[in-house]
Structures are given as structure tokens and as C-alpha cells.
Structure 1
């Protein structure tokens, strides 16, 4: 039996200690942490410098509360670093909580039926890992020296599996089951508050919580690293191309939205709108999802412009000729626009079919965007028919010799003049 001189124990009501823990917890701090990203998972590494003294022989202990902010959304693995300076490691009880997770890191290391005080070594500077090859930290002397009674030199170092025993620190033994391991955090979202609680439950020694940290590995929710950009596209003759770049645990799923409504079949990282029209103008966004979360891009506005004039097509010949005094009918013209379709045509026809000459007819159309187009036709009115001469009287006239002759004359007429 290991003997240690100490003051009388305080109450062993651990629930009271936990209440004190919450009451006197340190203010949570938002962290600036290191994040390593792999193809499927990311790893966040933190270190919190505390430097807080641990009350001697008090189950209220010290609580160090920290707030984690990370893209990781589901934990697949957790390691914890912990440094405690002091004497008599067997006094220490330490656990970690977050959300529904709970892991007992230290529970009176070395305490067993043959030693109700545990190991008397000085200091702990270790990393906790469920898969540590050293195994259970509760029996570290036995692992390192092959003997519970042989002390180690200096503080305990290296990587160890958590104690994991949920028994009261006033009754825990090395033979108790280990249930509260770091794997209890697997599947939880690591964001939010984490609390490390450390208590010195036996009197006569002093300890300091120097620092602690987390190495969180897990799946990440999507994060958009490049949002789609707004575009200006010529109506019907231009294509709109949107793209998004996102990271996160695969597979990533995409759904494009137009003015807030899903676009059927558009489930890739790019969106192409061929020959865009005014009907396509509006706001585009994309929602990126995976099994661990969702993120929506910023708005990319598609602006459609029409700077192309309509096409006016003259019907019939150009130039066009018409016989003088013959009825003239303007064949007209049609107008169409790539964006607006068919348009009405305005004309200024002022052809006088009874007066020979050259006339110009204009045909104009303007699309809804204000782009005008005017074309002209030349119409020539000409007189190609000779005038008609009509003799007055008979074509053959007999006149007596020496009688005066009076020519009855003739008349001339022309259809145009």
C-alpha cells in the first residue's frame, strides 16, 4: 500500500464538482487554428495556453472552456494533448466534454487495489490517442518499467490511450472497465464549446494546467472558394457560362437556382445558357451540398443586352421600274430581329406613277431596345410608248390644179404627257 500524508478529503460528490466547473469555467475564446485538408477529411490542430493553478484536494477543479470554429462537420478521429506540471500524478482526475461526447483522460493513474493513491510521479506532458501503442495510461509504470512500484524519471511523456474509466476517482481501480474513450466524439460536429476539466482530488500537492490542445480529424461541409460571376451577354447570339469552385468531403452535389427556383437538370459545377434571351435575365445561385452540410453561393446576375439592329428585307425588285400612267403597287418590306422576332415596318412611299422620274422609298424598323434600321428602294417611272398622231380629214385628198389647198392638219396625243 502506497502511503501519502495528506489533509482530510473533501466531499467526493463529483456532481458538485461539475456544477462548480460550469460556474467557474473560463470564458470561451474563438480560435485561430491550423487546418490541414486531404481529399476526404480535414485535420484541425489547436493549442490552448492556460497556466491555471488547480485547487488542491477540491473536486471543483479547473475548467478550461474553448470555442472551436472549423469547416469540419463530423469527427472521425480525435487526439488530445495535455501538459500538467506538479507532483503526484495519482491525484489527478481529468475529462473532456463536447456536445454529447465525454472522455475520461486521467482517473487517478496507478490507483489499484494495492495502492489507493496511485502513482507518485511528477508531471504529465502527453498526447491521448485511442490507438496509442503504449496503451492505457492508467498503468503507464507497468508498461514502461514492468512494475507498478518503480517510478519514472521526470514527467510522463509520449502518446497514450485515455484512462477511460468512468468510476468515481475516489474508488476507481485499474481493473475497472474503460468506456469513456475519445471515440465517443466520433460523428459529432466539433464546432462550439469544448471543456477540459482537471481536478486534484487528494491533498498535499500542487498542480498547474499549463496547456492543452485538440487534433480533430473529420469530414468537412462544403465551402465555396470561388463564386459564380455576373455576366453581360448579347441577346440570342451570346452564351452565359457560370461556374463555382467548392471544397469539402466528397461527393459534392450541386443545384443551380434561377431567381430562387431550382433549374431542372442543372446539377454540375458549371451552368451554360446557350443563345441567352431576355427571358434568361435574372439572378443565378448554386447550392453545394454533401452529407455534412450545405452552402449557397453569392448571386450572379445575368444581364441581357440587345445592341444588334433588326434586319429589313425589301420584297420585290430593287431598283424597280414602272410605266408611266400604269398603276404602281409597292411590294413592301419585312423586318425581323434576332431578339424580338418580327417587327412592323414604316414606309414613306411617295411615288407618282403619272410623272416620269426617279423616286426613293424608305423602309424603317426599330426593335424594342431602340436599335433602328432603314433600307431604301429606287423606283423609276418612265415613258416608253411613242405618242399617237391622228390626221384630220381624209388620208388622201384631191385638189383641183390652181385651186388653193388647205391642209386639214393632224393632232398629236401621248399617254404620259
Structure 2
């Protein structure tokens, strides 16, 4: 274990304080319910409401402007049908005696409130109203709001008003229609509250503009969301200079050019102050020529069925190695017509090794497109697009894997993006498509485009793809590979734990038939006449292989069993077909669903097992297959279990020693699902159970496939001890377990390929269950590790 020491060992928490303007919310002044006084208390019966005026009346005898609370009794509950009055509001009407009423027709009740000194854009009213008869509308400042209610005078209807307010005095009208042919009751009841923010709020950025990397010709839109006391004004800037005419919340850069790249900001102002948004960096790249979708000519027009694709090459073709040019597939038949493949378009079509691929061989097909970056800086290159494949696929650049994969989603186009992995000059974009078994296969690429800056990256070496370590079991192999660019020739020197490896001077370092001695931190130095660069560290962990671990359908030597044989390593401990039998049978490999079916094909490493030779007659329900392994001689805390499984139908769980791991197999039978277990192991014999469900209502196919099952661990005492470090005054105390016998403490001021580790000549002191060394540090930093 390695630990840094820095002169200042105290942990410093960086407290970031963000200023947020708190809106000063307040009630809207002089906004009253119906039938209350200036203090909000209910008015007496038959009293003029001081806050509501009648500005429209259908009754010549009561033209307004006064409105009144009612006399007691009918039509207000409990005497009548109108909703009962309360401590916060009362009914009002053109006159108090609504037991008689008023003439039918339209009536408008108006109240006013004053927003002087407040921000009208931040005003809001929520409330409820009812009337006799219908509430036709609510009108704010002479603008109808479209808020109505049916005149259900026995209940309230809610309303909310969030816009239309103005500075100063506002008018709020409630329009009521009194139905009927003769005089009858009319009334209005309103309960509402309003809030508003004090004027003078400075602008603030709610959502800042976001930049990105674009290709010349793209339409780019930058936008900002801001608030504050209106009016707000906007001025967009590029590299600190005003963009003429760019004064809105959105800046549209249609058909953007390289010259329009830069750092964009927007200044938001009001009468209080101004604020500038964070920078949105817009990078614009020159288009890369020679990028073509599948199945098109040099002008981008789609080719006829059966035509050879002029841009893609089949550099790997298990169907017929002599065929090196893919062809446009027959678009008139399955699986393009009446099948699951995403339909062809007018910009790309499916290509494959044959015109019609129903009998194409299984295996890996590699479709290659050459991309020439001559004249471009490869470090800036970006290529993106969409692809669909049958079946799974990976994307490589110049034979180096990328992180881009396609799960075999042939019914949709999935996006991909590649950057930072290209060479100067010519590059190879490689679509590696796996055909899981004999049958349909193909590739579809659409929307392929890319860009880069003009220029060169220079002569100094540049690492494009870093070496990647991993977890291995003894006897396995691993290639550590670096992909680098720069002036040729490039020189390589691999290192392990900082020490140069003699004779290891290629871009690839092969660790074959590894032992525990091969574990360590690997790196590579790349150099040429113009300079030197070091790769990232690739950590390789090696565990001892646990014996007696088997895939499904194999014998004690790992050779596959004959169809119908009983698997000696897996037992059916839950068997919906025959609860009395624990025999797991190697499935018939000559029939559906293995032949001409969806199950992942058998190999010489594993086969499908099931409750029957032909599981078409297996009962629906739950199944569990158990295998065992023995960890005697291993430390359970160090054990790692890895493998792949496929199931028909859902794999519902993997249980280790009876405990659920929560792992499921959603891929089911057409592809493997990888699994890894690192906890839950015990000394001695362990059990591993694969649980699955046969979803068929009565009978139907079911089975289990386990492949590449591997278990590794270390013997007791084989775990590298943990090294702890802490500060004690001006000293550093380094400690490790007393049980870690034979280890010595070494130190180094730096970490790298040329690191020199020096033993710390201070004797360790026992302190409980740990050995401690107290060090007075010198220098800028120091690293420590234990080694034998």
C-alpha cells in the first residue's frame, strides 16, 4: 500500500458560499375577501362592502356602485342552499334582500389593490369563489383570464392568478350571470390571498448558458433563464465583446462557423444592478471529409440493393474470407420488411456479407471505414453518429478497443461518440459485429459526422489509449497495450512497480500464464527525438485459482458432456417439473431452441442444462440449480467469483451459501449476463445457486447456461497488509498489522517509472496489534510502502 505525506497533513474543507438573493415576499396590500371590513372581520348584515363595487348591473333599480352583505336567513345556509358564511368572508349582492333577489342578467363586481413599490411580475393570487348563478369569468386589469365556474353556490371553485399584474393600482373583476326570466337571488362570495415581492430585486442567473463542441454548419442555441425586478435586459458577448443585436434570452448561431467559436457570456441588467453569466465555451470544428453512412454513394445517395458499398471494407468475414466488400442487403424481405431491424432511410441502409444473410456464418465481422486526418490536429478530432447491429458489436479505432459497444439493438439506432483516440494521417474506424450463430447479421451506420481543428499535434509522443490492468487467476493471460502517436520512430519501455522490465520495449506487453509474482503496477514510457511521456499505471491483480469449479454441461476435465447426460456438478434443488428429481440434464443440442432458436449457442466450454433432455415439456414455475466449491486453503475475505449466465426465462437470483445476492439475468437466453461476487464466502465448502423462472403457463422451454465460471483467492496470510498513516504533532506515524511478518518499510519522494525506494532505517515499535514507525518528515512529499 502506498501513502502520500504532505507538509500540511490537516484536512482542509473548502466551503463554497453561494450568494442567493432571497425574494422579499409580502402580502398584496388591500386585497380583501367579500363582506369584510378593513381588518378582515365580517361586516354586519345589510352593510355596504367598502372594497367591492358594482360596475355592471342588469337591474335598473339597483345599478350600484354599492354592494351589500345580506340580510339574515334564506338563501344562505342553513336556511337556504348557498354555502354558509364564515369568519373570513360573507356573501355580497346588489342589495341585501336576496330572499327576493334581482333581475336576471349580467353583473360585474370589482375590487382594487395597489402594487406600488412592489414587483408586479412576482405577484400571485390564489383563492376560491362561488356565485349564484354562473361565474362567467375573472378579469384582471380589463383582461379576461378565462376562469369560470358553474355557479354551484353550495361549494367553492379554486382559482390562481400568476400574470397580468401591473405597477400601481390593479382592478380585479368577478363576472356573474343571474339566470332565469324573473327576479331571483344573485350573489358573490370570494376568499383569496395574494403575495408579491418587494421591487428592487437585482437580477440573478437561474439557468446559465451551456456551451459545447460543434461542427461547422451546426445550428447552435445558447439560452439563459434569469429573474429579478423587471424590466430585464440582455446583452450577449463573445470573448468579452458585445454580439450585435443579441439582446434576448436566447442567442441563435445558425450554420455556425469556425470563426464564431469562443467564450460566450450574457449580461443581465435591470434598474438595480447587472450580473454576468458564467462562460459557455463554444468550440467549432472543421468538418472531417470522407465520413459516409452505410450503403451510400460518394454523394450520400443510397445505393440499390445488392450494390457493393464503396466506403466500407470487410476486413474480417467468417462467412467467406474471400469477400472483402460488404453489400447492401435485400430491403424487400425479412428482417428489414416484416422483421425487427430498424427500417432503412433515405440516408443509410443495412449492409452485410451477403445480399441476403439468413444463412450467414456465426462469428465476428469487422467493417472498416478509413478516415484521413491529414491536415487536422488528431487530438481535437471528434466523430459521432448512430448505429444498429445484429448481433452485439464493439467499436474500435486503429485496432484499439473503445468504450463504445452495441448490445445488438437492431430495432433502434444507438448514438456513439469518439474523441481523443485518433492518429495523425489515416485512421481506421472499425465496427466489429458478432453474429451469435448462423443467421441474419448486418450493420447500419447513420448520421456519421465529425470535426477537427486544422493543424498538427506536433512531434512529441502522445498517448491515445492507456494500458488497462485487471484481475487475473493464475494461469490466465493478459495483454497490456498502449496506443501512442507522435513522430516515428516511437520507443517503448515497460515498467513494473517503477522498475524497467528488460527487453519489454514494444507497444504491447503480454503477461502469459501468470503467477502471483506477476501482480503489480505496470506502466510504459513512450519516447522519440522530441520528448518522453509516461502512461497511467495499470494495476494487475493475480489470485490463486480455486480448483473444482465447473461450467454447466461439462465433465471433471472441463470437456462438454453428451446430450442427455446428467451434469455431475449441478443439482436441481428446486424443480417445478419433477420435485423428486435433482438431475440436471444436458439439453438436446440438435433441436429448437438451440438449433434455429434464440438460445445462445453451445460451445466446447459449456452447454445448456435443463430438467429434461428436451425442455419443451418442462412445467412452468421456479427452478434452482446448485453447484458447490471448496475454499479450504483460501482466505474467504480474498475470494472473487466471476462468470456469465443465460437463462430461460428470467434469472431471478444468484444465491451464495443460501443468501440472495440480488443479481438477476434480464438478458435471459439470447445473450450472457456477467456476474461478479466478492463477499459472502465462507471457509470450506460453499454453495452457489442459480434461480430462474419458467414463465410458460403450463409447459415450455427452460434451461440454464453458466460459462467462464472462475473463482480465485489467496491463501491465509497471503493478503498484502494495509498501511496506515496519521499525524502526531510535527511527526508522521506509519503503522501496519503485527501479523504481517517479514515486511519492511520503504520510502520514496516520488512515484514513476524511475522511482527508487529506500528502506526506512527506523525499527518498528509494537503498539497493540500494530507495528508503528514514527517519522519526522522532510521535503515536499514522501510516499511509503511495505515490501518483503
Shorter-chain TM-score range: under 0.3
Q: Which has the higher contact order (CA 8 A, sep 6+)?
A: 1
Larger radius of gyration: 1
Higher relative helix content: 1
